[in-house]
Each structure stands twice: as C-alpha cells, then as structure tokens.
C-alpha cells in the first residue's frame, strides 16, 4: 500500500524540518505546495524534494488563502502517481502513530470500504514554553486527553474512483460537495501544534488575515477563529495562561478567553508527556530564525485582490506553478447565466416531482360537468388547458434528460 501526503505551507521555518522528516518516515509520495515562503521554508522544501524521487515541489504564486482550490488540483495527481490513500496534512500537524506499519494497519480498512472517508481528529498540544522559537519534537508537551471536534480527512483510492469529482473543503476538515451515501471511519488522531511561540502566533494571525482579505473573506464564518485572534492581540496581553488557553482549544471557542492557568494544565485534562513522533534521518539544513517584521512586510507588499467568488477567477496549474487567473468579464457573464439556468431547471424539476407526488397522494379525480369541455376550445377531456399540459410535459421531459 502506497500512502501519499499533500501539504500547503507558508513560512513555517520553526517546524518545517521535523514536519518533513515526519512525512518521510510515514509516506511514499509527498506533494509540497510552497505559498511564497520567505523565511527559508521554501528552500528546505525544495531540498527535500530533490532528495526523494517521489516527492514533488509546487510553487503557489498567489496572495490569497486558496487552500482548497490548490489541494483539489493536486489530489488527482497524487492518485496518478500510484497513491492508495491521500492524506491532507498541514505543517503544524503530526499523525499520532508509532510507526509506518501502524499507520498502514489503520488505513487498511479503507481498501474494502469503497464509500468510506477516513477521519482523524486533533489532539490539541501545548508546548512547555512559548519563549523558544525552534520546535523540538523530542521535548515534552501538554497533550489534551479529549480529542477536538475538528476532523481532518484522508481519501482512499476506492472512494476516489467511485466519486472522481470529490472535492475537499477549506482546511481539509470535510468534503466540499455533498455526497450523501459516504460513510466516515474514525481511524485515529493528529497531534496539532497551532501555537508554538508568541512571535509565531502573532505573525501567523496577521499573515492569515492578509491572505483572507486578499480573497474577499472578512473571516465572519470561514477562519472565524483568526478574526478572534486579531481581537485578542489588539486588546490583551499574550500571557502564558492566555496562550495556553488558545492552543488548548484552538478553533473550539466562539471567543478566546483565559480558561486555564498554564501551571495547572494537569487539572484541565492535559497530560505532560514526551512524544514519539516518527522521524526519518533525512538530512536538511535548518533555516535561520527569520525577521518577523520583514515577513509581515512581504505579505503586505504582495497583497492583491484575488476573488474567486461568482466565477471571477480560478486557480490554474502550469508545470509546477499554481497561480490565480482572472476570468474575463464576458466569460463571467456567460458562466453566471449558465449557473442561473442550471439552478432554474433543477428547481423546476423538483417542483414537477413534488406536484406529481401531491396529485398521487391526494387521489385526484376529474370533475364531472354537465357540459363536457370541447377540445377545439383548447381544453382536454379532463378539464385542463391542453396547451399548458403539453408545455409542462415538454419541460418535464427535457428537464429529466
């Protein structure tokens, strides 16, 4: 069984080497998407792809947070390369297994379940200190004993072959298209490290906000937690207690508040333990600690409006470069007209099916009249308009086709 991982990364220099060594220990095929990293992460990703024959490097040359569009472009590529299961994993996530064989045992259930989607839930993790920039996978951390409600998904080859148009939603937490008969199999957990240091979380919050604004997302629904983080940074001191509260329930609180003392995490359902994250011996040169002011300036300098809503643009791929491609106004109008017609036909089809069911359930019978209607007057023998009846029949036939 060949396992593949797809990961989209921007400026994760503090964790990039442990993350890539983790992928190397568990996966046969790796597709890395570098979204304009300027902190040294891009160089590390390219070096890793040069060292491994089944690793591919892609450069995401766009400003917006178009994660789902980029991931959906590369899922077919991973299966073309021979993947049996494709994992969608971020740079701050590690799979909670001891070895590659253990991961194989978990996903082997997917080979016979042709309509099953693999689900992994987060274990939120809190580092022992927020004052160290470099992430060390060997250092003990606080791990929450209760899994987060937020899932991450993996797609098997049988599921992809049955539904080749399958699409993942933003963040790879679920599917974008509604396929009703897909079941879900809980296979394990990801260890999640969204908050690793004060500098890292501040820069991550600002960088993600700029990328969301670029695609016309004000973060009222998608990325709502990032909007909450902006408010926290603007109004409050990033104390150890607050940082631990954010990391311990990332994406799980409607409002970030201090719910735990950093010194009392053991009483809040966290276990302080050393992790056994699988790591290979892949040699990679560690990047230097970046200048966060310069990283933020690069994000602002590269800002551009890249709105994909309503068919105004798309993410295209050329060789190993993904980029935003605006769609001409005339094509937008034609696309909008086609979508409107499609929705109208779908709605009409539903109305016709509903009316037939209602007529059948009510057992309607023709009304007897003393003077039968004449067909030359435009009426059918059952008292309905013959022109209207013929029109509805034609529309129904055409819609059902």
pLDDT tens digits along 85-117: 999 999 999 999 999 999 999 999 898 888 899
Cβ burial of 209 (10 Å; 0-12, 13-18, 19+) is buried
The average pLDDT across 171-188 equals: 90
pLDDT at residue 296 is higher than 70: yes
pLDDT at residue 27 is higher than 60: yes
pLDDT at residue 255 is higher than 70: yes
- Least confident piece of the model among 146-150, 314-318, 339-343: 339-343
pTM assigned to the model: 0.82
| pLDDT grade for 258, boundaries at 50, 70 and 90 | confident
Mind giving me the DSSP string for 319-366? TTEEEEEEPPHHHHHHHHHHHHHHHHHHHHHHHHHHHHHHHHHHT--P
Q: Could you count the other beta carbons within 10 Å of the beta carbon of residue 67?
A: 22
pLDDT, residue 381, reads 45
pLDDT, residue 375, reads 45
Residue 20 CA to residue 288 CA, distance in Å, equals 17
Mind listing the domains of the chain with CATH numbers? 3-196+266-326 (3.90.550), 331-361+379-400 (no CATH)
Phi-psi region of 213 (alpha: psi -120 to 50; beta: other; left: phi over 0): alpha
Percentage of the chain beyond pLDDT 70 is 87
- Least confident piece of the model among 122-136, 158-172, 319-333, 342-356: 342-356
| pLDDT grade for 321, boundaries at 50, 70 and 90 | very high
The average pLDDT across 118-144 equals: 95
Closest to 115 (Cα-Cα) out of 55, 175, 41, 42 = 175
The DSSP letter of residue 168 is B
Residue 153 CA to residue 158 CA, distance in Å, equals 15
Per the model's pLDDT, the better-predicted residue between 181 and 148 turns out to be 148
The DSSP letter of residue 373 is P
Is residue 320 a contact partner of residue 57, using CB atoms and an 8 Å limit? yes
Percentage of the chain beyond pLDDT 90 is 71
Residues 45-79: tens digit of each pLDDT: 999 999 999 999 999 999 999 999 999 999 999 99
- Least confident piece of the model among 60-64, 189-193, 330-334: 330-334
pLDDT at residue 366 is higher than 60: no
| pLDDT grade for 393, boundaries at 50, 70 and 90 | low
pLDDT at residue 329 is higher than 70: no
The DSSP letter of residue 113 is -
| pLDDT grade for 336, boundaries at 50, 70 and 90 | low
pLDDT, residue 189, reads 97
Residues 271-287: tens digit of each pLDDT: 999 999 999 999 999 99
The average pLDDT across 11-35 equals: 98
pLDDT at residue 175 is higher than 90: yes
Beta bridge mates, 316: 323
pLDDT, residue 397, reads 53
For residue 75, give every residue at least 6 positions away whose Cβ sits within 8 Å of its Cβ, in sequence order, or none.
Answer: 6, 86, 155, 160, 166, 168
The DSSP letter of residue 371 is S
CA distances from residue 168 to 3, 172, 299, 329 in whole angstroms, order as listed? 18, 6, 26, 28
The average pLDDT across 299-305 equals: 94
Residues 216-246: tens digit of each pLDDT: 999 999 999 999 999 999 999 999 999 999 9
């Amino acid at each position: 069984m060949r396992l593949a991982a797809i990961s989209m990364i921007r400026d994760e220099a503090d964790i990039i080497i442990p993350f890539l060594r983790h992928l190397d220990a568990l996966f046969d095929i790796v597709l890395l998407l570098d979204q304009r990293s300027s902190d040294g992460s891009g160089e590390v990703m390219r070096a890793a792809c040069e060292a491994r024959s089944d690793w591919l490097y892609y450069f995401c040359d766009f400003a917006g947070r178009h994660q789902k569009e980029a991931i959906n472009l590369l899922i077919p590529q991973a299966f073309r390369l021979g993947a049996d299961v494709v994992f969608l994993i971020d740079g701050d996530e590690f799979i909670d297994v001891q070895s590659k064989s253990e991961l194989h045992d978990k996903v082997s259930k997917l080979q016979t379940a042709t309509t099953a989607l693999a689900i992994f839930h987060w274990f939120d993790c809190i580092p022992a200190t927020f004052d160290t920039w470099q992430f060390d996978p060997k250092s003990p951390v606080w791990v929450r004993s209760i899994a987060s409600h937020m899932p991450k998904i993996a797609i098997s080859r049988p599921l992809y072959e049955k539904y080749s148009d399958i699409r993942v939603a933003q963040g790879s937490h679920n599917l974008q298209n509604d396929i009703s008969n897909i079941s879900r199999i809980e296979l394990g957990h990801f260890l999640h490290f969204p908050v690793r240091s004060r500098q890292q979380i501040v820069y991550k919050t600002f960088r993600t906000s700029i990328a969301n604004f670029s695609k016309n997302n004000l973060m009222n629904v998608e990325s709502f937690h990032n909007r909450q983080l902006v408010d926290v940074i603007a109004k409050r001191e990033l104390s150890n207690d607050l940082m631990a509260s954010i990391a311990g329930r990332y994406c799980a609180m409607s409002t970030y508040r201090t719910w735990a003392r950093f010194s009392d995490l053991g009483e809040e359902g966290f276990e302080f333990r050393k992790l056994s994250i699988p790591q290979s011996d892949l040699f990679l040169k560690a990047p230097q600690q970046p200048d966060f002011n310069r990283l933020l300036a690069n994000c602002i300098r590269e800002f551009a409006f890249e709105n994909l809503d309503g068919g105004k643009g798309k993410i295209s791929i050329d060789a190993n470069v993904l980029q935003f491609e605006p769609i001409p106004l005339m094509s937008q109008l034609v696309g909008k007209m086609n979508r409107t017609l499609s929705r109208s036909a779908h709605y009409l089809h539903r109305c016709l099916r509903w009316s037939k069911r209602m007529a059948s359930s009510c057992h309607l019978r023709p009304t007897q009249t003393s003077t039968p209607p004449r067909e030359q007057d435009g009426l059918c023998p059952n008292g309905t308009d013959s022109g209207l009846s013929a029109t509805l029949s034609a529309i129904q036939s055409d819609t059902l086709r």
